[in-house]
Amino acid sequence: MRFIPWIIGILWIAIGILNILFPNGVRSFNQKLFTNLHPRIISIVILIFGILLIVFSFKSKVFLYPFLLGLLGCIKSAFFFAKPSLAKRLIGGWVNTREKFYQLTGLISFTLGIFLLLCIR
């Protein structure tokens, strides 16, 4: 169980670095991947990550940070599951944004991953 926050944190850091360094490549990858997936499948993956973060929060140094990230993930998952047509439009808007937006989300993802790794006991 102790390796799960490491995997999530390193995954977020890697995604952040890729978004910062190669925004056009990540955009084309996201367009191929997420435009063909049903939002309910995406919501299941988000729900799994959210539940794992909530479970991890009870064993971390800082309870509130991973708990809030997990709770936000679960809320996002519920939204994607309840409103798949609206979620499909939202995903389409996210994957077709400009290069600077990908770099900004990469910076945010990198920072969230670093903070998550700092919460591990």
What pLDDT is stored for residue 120 in this prediction?
A: 83
Q: Give yes or no for a contact between 106 and 16, defined as CB atoms under 8 angstroms apart.
A: yes
Q: Tokens at residue 48, please?
A: 């799994």
pLDDT interval class at 48 (50, 70, 90): very high
Of 33, 5, 27, 26, nearest to 112 by C-alpha is 5
Tens-place pLDDT, residues 55-91 = 998 988 888 999 999 999 999 999 999 999 999 999 9
Counting the structural domains of the chain, the total is 1
Lowest mean pLDDT among 6-10, 27-31, 117-121: 117-121
3-state DSSP call for residue 29? helix
Instruction: Name the residue with tokens 């479970």.
Output: 55
Interval 90-107 mean pLDDT: 92
Q: Is the pLDDT of residue 121 over 80?
A: no
- Give the domain range for residue 89: 3-118
